[in-house]
A and B are shown apart, each in its own frame.
Chain A
């Protein structure tokens, strides 16, 4: 079974070719040379020719390296002890602690039977008003954060990792800058959240091949936790690096590129990962949030474009804020009728008013005269941005809804805010709490 092979015939890119018998497609092998060794995976069988993709790259591999086939595919050790641990893209510990001694589970397993899926029913509270109130994240949802380089998508993910009301966080870093990796680690450590988190991090300096396994490792572990009745949130950053790693490897493998060099199966590959998001009727759930940087801020670029067709909505992170326009949670209507009776109405009205504020701003910039209504909108827009849109704001959804009412009360009279009367009666801030507000808003 564990025959040792010598004599590598070809080395092209990260792929070795040697001749061997009785090797299974997708099996792992250990390539050893001198003091070094690396894992490799069988990616093609052609008669007795076996093609191996080397995880750590082919640099320095001699043609007489020793290859030992392990007789199984890629797997990852799983137990409760994973929590608090950090691994690399080959599932080796990155935190200086010993390798976990646990039952290995296979990665990239079969997909969930659609007949076993259920209609989503529970929200994931993140404490971020732009998500909780305006585009509620729902258990089993898969959502990308469309952003561009330079935007604070990693700090946003870290905040969500700290605040989200879930049992387990699985964080996957692909092509992460080392500084960003340290940032995640320190932030989670300081807040004491590391104990409910497991991280698989591939940094930009690590071998490209390892980048490919990060989502699979994360999702395999998440799936096991979910089957043990845990509500799991998987955070992935950055999926564009992942797609680029696929592109790099596909091209060195001489696969025919389809769009801007990406392999033709980009959609299927991304979908296979995102579709792991699920709510098991009799067990836990997996929710996926994935940062996706848009090269050149272009949403029609193949990566964000294919992602948009797969995911259930998207968040746009621009100018350090989650954009209220364009951002969309397709599943929010399944849950936002169960939060509080004013949720849907005030969510819509706040966005409409904010849209009016934006057009007022346009008018102002073109030098038109501002009416009294315009000034009210301007004040509204300012408060909206500082009290809700600012990424530093953390509010429980109930408090966030109250803040919405407070902002309305500070800017408008009850009869001009456009909310239904019965909700105004119930939620309009009372004189005492809104006293300052009344003063500053003046009379129309």
Chain B
């Protein structure tokens, strides 16, 4: 940590994790300061300035702080270190590596313990990518190091303006992250050092790219209801609101394993520690089906669980998205999963309450919407200066109070995301997983399958539901045969396509090809006009087909049984085609 404080102040008041400090010299809004207590330094961030006093929110427990205690200002905004070694790490919201903290402090997270985000002693095999005399700009690579299965580009700091001429570049070799690997000259002739890492303020988006593109390419999650019905595009945004117990976290975990992206960043923000532990302990053991290597190699975990300090919970989502943007600058596709954004919004609410700001709806601050919008807007598909494309996709869960979506966080999120996967308590109670509501959810991104067919299927589902509602009133006997068949078809679609057994090796992971193929067959069945002698027989047949289709779902596509089962299913449906 930086010990050269730029100025000092003294504490004048303490209220929860908020301290009021009198400062003699200039300070910056959102500058980081450290409150000193005994031998400890507690990290804090300026959140308000009034006259010669500023308010800092402390990222730690403030017990024992006294009026008159000194505060050191760093002159820097809250930043993260960006460089090789980020992947496979487990950080808290302020980028302290948790396993290393455990080695130092044992079972508990004692306050005032900070460790560099990047290991200063580890060496990386650097290969230069530029020559003396080359012209470079911010975000351009001066070389690269291998990081696991990726080529990690060493980039010129993002906040350097203008063009630079390379004056010195290190030869290939093993260096630590704080080694100067290049020296470049700016327009005024001053030499600047380029290290293998740089710091970046977390609340500022990295924009060292050529242009932003519209996200259109499907990001496969291997979950049928998502990829086919409510797709997410690479570089897009989506949210998953749902009451407790509806399966938000399981869905996030499945996505973190199966999503077709290069890097997954899991931001466990204010949720149960136990859930992170499952990821922590299981990922190193699991293989990434795409590469055959350990899943952990493409994963980074930012973990600020519910009992960790609230102020760093707010910082954790920004830390995560900044690291995501950094890897996007290397032409990689990054998925950021934030669980849960409601807890982050609650952290904002707690701070706002202590600052005695005028509250908005449900006491959330009036700027909640802007803050949420700014966060999701950091996702995106970009074209870099070297022509390659990279993306950051953001998926956030929302935990609405009482499971009611009419609350400020859900509503503010819905305005800015591209897809909405609403989880329903009703479906999870019926064990219909994933419990994404097929009628309420929506997506603005293109699907894997044909739009017209998808519309037809959606209509079947909606009309089938209407029939079901009606049937509850008039009974099966009072329902016309055609309507009854429509109901059975909707039920069939739900059972065999929308529902998926996440824990089955084959059914749990449905590739894009497979989805297109299976959807075609299902669509054909749904559009086949059918006639049955009676309701009972219709029901029996559909139950039988469901069983056949479910077995089919569990058969690998390359298995000879796959085609066989498909033919069997189709021919038994054909037997009931009207006029056959």
Contacts and interface: CB of A to CB of B under 8 A. Distances in A.
B556 interface: no
A22 B363 CA distance: 34
Contact of B63 (A24, A115, A309): A24
A4 interface: no
Interface in A306-321: 306, 308-310, 312
Contact of A25 (B64, B102, B109, B403): B64
A26 interface: yes
B252 to A, nearest CB: 14
A113 B98 contact: yes
A75 to B, nearest CB: 11
A272 B307 contact: yes
Interface of A: 21-27, 44-48, 73, 109-120, 140, 227, 255-259, 263-265, 267-268, 271-272, 275-276, 280, 300-302, 305-306, 308-310, 312, 328, 331
B61 A110 contact: yes
Contacts of A23: 66-67
Contacts of B12: 46-47
A280 B14 contact: no
B363 A310 contact: no
18 contacts: A25-B64, A25-B66, A26-B62, A46-B15, A48-B67, A73-B63, A110-B61, A112-B108, A112-B307, A113-B109, A118-B277, A119-B277, A119-B278, A265-B353, A267-B306, A268-B347, A300-B401, A301-B402
B346 A111 contact: no
A30 B424 CA distance: 52
A115 B90 contact: yes
A207 to B, nearest CB: 22
B383 to A, nearest CB: 37
A275 B108 contact: no
A26 B102 CA distance: 26
B361 to A, nearest CB: 10
Given A24-B64, A25-B62, A268-B306, A114 B98 contact: yes
A275 B67 contact: no
Interface stretch (B185-193, B268-276, B485-493): B268-276
B346 A264 contact: yes
A264 B108 contact: no
Contacts of B366: none
B82 interface: no
Q: Which of A73, A114, A312 has the most CB of B within 10 A?
A: A114
Nearest to B276: A114
Contacts of B404: 300
A255 B63 contact: no
Q: Which 5 A-B pairs have the closest CB atoms?
A: A300-B402, A271-B306, A275-B307, A26-B63, A258-B363
A408 to B, nearest CB: 22
Given A115-B90, A264-B353, A27 B346 contact: no
Q: Which of A109, A118, A271, A300 has the most CB of B within 10 A?
A: A271
A280 B349 contact: no
A268 B401 contact: no
A272 B102 CA distance: 19
A256 B353 contact: yes
Contacts, number: 164
Contact of A258 (B101, B105, B362): B362
Contacts of A22: 66-68
A114 B310 contact: no
A117 B14 contact: no
Contacts of A302: 401-402
B14 A45 contact: yes
Contact of A264 (B13, B105, B363): B363
A111 B307 contact: yes
A441 to B, nearest CB: 29
B273 A27 contact: no
Contact of B15 (A44, A259, A263): A44
Contacts of B64: 24-27, 73
- Contact residue range for chain B? 35 or more
B380 to A, nearest CB: 30
A255 B353 contact: yes
B280 interface: yes
Interface in B250-285: 270-274, 276-278, 280-282
Interface string B62-78: 11111110000000000
A256 B272 contact: no
A135 B305 CA distance: 25
A353 B52 CA distance: 71
A318 B182 CA distance: 70
A328 B245 contact: yes
Contacts of B305: 111, 114, 275
Nearest to A283: B107
A189 to B, nearest CB: 34
Contacts of A26: 62-64
B303 interface: yes
B152 interface: no
B273 A117 contact: yes
Given A271-B307, A305-B401, A45 B274 contact: no
B399 interface: yes
A276 B277 contact: no
A37 to B, nearest CB: 23
Given A26-B64, A44-B14, A256 B363 contact: yes
Contacts of B307: 111-112, 271-272, 275-276
Interface in B35-90: 61-68, 90
A435 to B, nearest CB: 38
A74 to B, nearest CB: 9
Contacts of B108: 109-113
Contacts of B306: 267-268, 271-272, 275, 310
Contact of A120 (B68, B102, B274, B356): B274
B359 interface: yes
A228 to B, nearest CB: 13
Q: Which of A48, A264, A310 has the most CB of B within 10 A?
A: A264
Given A113-B101, A257-B363, A310-B306, A265 B346 contact: yes
Nearest to A263: B353
B295 to A, nearest CB: 16
Q: Which of A115, A268, A272, A308 has the most CB of B within 10 A?
A: A115
A19 to B, nearest CB: 11
A59 to B, nearest CB: 25
B14 A25 contact: yes
A101 B211 CA distance: 70
Contact of B107 (A140, A268, A280, A328): A280
B421 interface: no
A269 B63 CA distance: 16
A258 B109 CA distance: 29
A100 B275 CA distance: 39
Nearest to B61: A110
A117 B274 contact: yes
A73 B477 CA distance: 72
B359 A268 contact: no
A256 B245 contact: no
B99 interface: yes
B110 A110 contact: yes
B343 interface: yes
Given A117-B280, A256-B356, A268-B346, 12 more contacts: A25-B63, A26-B64, A110-B110, A114-B98, A114-B273, A114-B276, A115-B101, A258-B349, A259-B362, A267-B306, A276-B307, A308-B243
Contact of A24 (B66, B98, B349, B356): B66
B19 to A, nearest CB: 9
Contacts of B154: none
B280 A114 contact: yes
A111 B308 contact: yes
A264 B408 CA distance: 14
A272 to B, nearest CB: 5
Contact of A268 (B13, B110, B310): B310
A329 to B, nearest CB: 12
Interface in B328-366: 343, 346-347, 349-350, 353, 356, 359, 362-364
